[in-house]
Amino acid sequence: MRDSRETFVNHAFVIGHPIKHSRSPIIHGHWLKTLDLPGSYRAIDISPDDLPAFFAGIRQGDLALVGGNVTIPHKEAALGLVDEPDDLALEIGATNTVWMSDGRLHATNTDGEGFVGNLDAQAPGWDSQVKTAVVLGAGGAARAVVQSLRDRGIRDIRILNRTVARAHDLADRFGPATSAHDLEGMTEHLSDADFLVNTTSMGMDGADVATLPMDAMKATALVTDIVYVPLMTPILRQAADRGLRTVDGLGMLLHQAVPGFARWFGKRPVVTPELRALVVADLEAHV
Ligand code: ATR
């Protein structure tokens, strides 16, 4: 006889290439343990060439996997390999979360939910005060941010990017609530803005960043960064020095994990200070 618990043991994954620095196993492992759920979540290194075969294996049930996270460099390619991408993933053109249901592989993108979920947790009510938002950057990471700001009802989202053509691509994708600009007019745009988010790699891993015109911003403005290594990025430091409210980017990583866990393991987990401390400790151990 099989153990009745064993029948419901679910196994999930994060795939990337490379994958060994992913913090997702810490996050999901913590929730499995604290919710006392059987199951596992592990990091698997899959090269781009092996991605189609990996997804075929999931579909056929060979790997006994219920779903997982997809990260760099697979987020875009994965979307073309699933059976049922949802509207969020299709609009962004990338997926970070997949799951099996009725023999078909489904996909969504929870990065935007993670982004606004973090702001909701760290700065409750933030969205009621934001009429104009400035988004720095127009790469892959900017897409989920712009989508989630628009879907929160923000009607003036200014995308500023070094390569203005990429900002136009995003504005075309996300519609009339968005506009595209180069970095030249940053002071003017920041002076109107209630909200600034950095989605570029500027400041990542402690790299130097030019001084941004934070002085132009309203004293009530909120500044956030999706970079979380280091936690206090140069852009957040500049904002804090100016006395502006800041929210760091680690919470986005924690909150984007919630919907996937709920799908694979059947319980919606909570982002707690204890979980955050676990991930911070890991970041500090691997500086
Ligand atoms: P991701 O998927 O992480 O967003 P990406 O698609 O390579 O990565 O995008 C990186 C973003 O950071 C882009 O907006 C990039 O600007 P360009 O489109 O002009 O390349 C921006 N970026 C990177 N380094 C930058 C720098 N030193 N100054 C300004 N923007 C920078």
Summarised one tens digit per residue, pLDDT across range 19-44 is 998 999 999 999 999 999 999 999 99
Q: Are 34 and 261 in contact (CB under 8 A)?
A: no
* Superfamily, domain 6-109+252-285: Leucine Dehydrogenase, chain A, domain 1 (3.40.50.10860)
Question: Whole-model pTM?
Answer: 0.94
Tokens of 207: 């790299």
Instruction: Verify whether ligand 1 is closer than 6 Å to residue 166 (CB atom).
Output: yes
Q: Are 176 and 208 in contact (CB under 8 A)?
A: no
**pLDDT on residue 5:** 42
Delimit the CATH 3.40.50.10860 region(s) of the chain: 6-109+252-285
Q: How confident is the model at residue 3 (pLDDT cuts 50, 70, 90)?
A: very low
Residues above pLDDT 70, as percent of the chain: 97
75 is catalytic: yes
Q: Is the pLDDT of residue 287 over 80?
A: no
How far apart are alpha carbons 65 and 209 in whole angstroms? 42
Q: Is the pLDDT of residue 6 over 60?
A: no
pLDDT average, residue stretch 167-176: 98
Instruction: Verify whether ligand 1 is closer than 6 Å to residue 168 (CB atom).
Output: no
Q: Is the pLDDT of residue 7 over 70?
A: no
**pLDDT on residue 2:** 42
Q: Quick one: which atom of ligand 1 is closest to the CA of 138? A: 14
**pLDDT on residue 63:** 79
Nearest to 152 by CA among 170, 174, 182: 174
**245-247 and 222-225 beta bridge pairing:** parallel
Summarised one tens digit per residue, pLDDT across range 53-102 is 999 999 998 778 999 999 999 999 999 999 999 999 999 999 999 999 99
Does 84 or 1 have the greater pLDDT score?
84
Summarised one tens digit per residue, pLDDT across range 8-18 is 689 999 999 99
Summarised one tens digit per residue, pLDDT across range 110-162 is 999 999 999 999 999 999 999 999 999 999 999 999 999 999 999 999 999 99
How far apart are alpha carbons 262 and 118 in whole angstroms? 17
Q: Which fold has domain 113-248?
A: Rossmann fold (3.40.50)
Delimit the CATH 3.40.50.720 region(s) of the chain: 113-248
**pLDDT on residue 265:** 97
Instruction: Verify whether ligand 1 is closer than 6 Å to residue 47 (CB atom).
Output: no
Residue nearest atom 9 of ligand 1, based on CA coordinates: 139
How far apart are alpha carbons 227 and 125 in whole angstroms? 22
Residue nearest atom 11 of ligand 1, based on CA coordinates: 200
Instruction: Verify whether ligand 1 is closer than 6 Å to residue 186 (CB atom).
Output: no
CA of 23 to the centre of ligand 1 (A): 23
**pLDDT on residue 4:** 44
CA of 84 to the centre of ligand 1 (A): 30
For 136, 194, 222, the CA distances from 148, given in Å and listed in that order, are: 15, 16, 16
How far apart are alpha carbons 20 and 18 in whole angstroms? 6
Q: Is the pLDDT of residue 200 over 70?
A: yes
Instruction: Verify whether ligand 1 is closer than 6 Å to residue 202 (CB atom).
Output: yes
Residues above pLDDT 90, as percent of the chain: 90
- Which residue out of 20, 33, 75, 131 is catalytically annotated? 75
DSSP run (H or E) holding 57: helix 51-59
**pLDDT on residue 8:** 64
How far apart are alpha carbons 270 and 233 in whole angstroms? 25
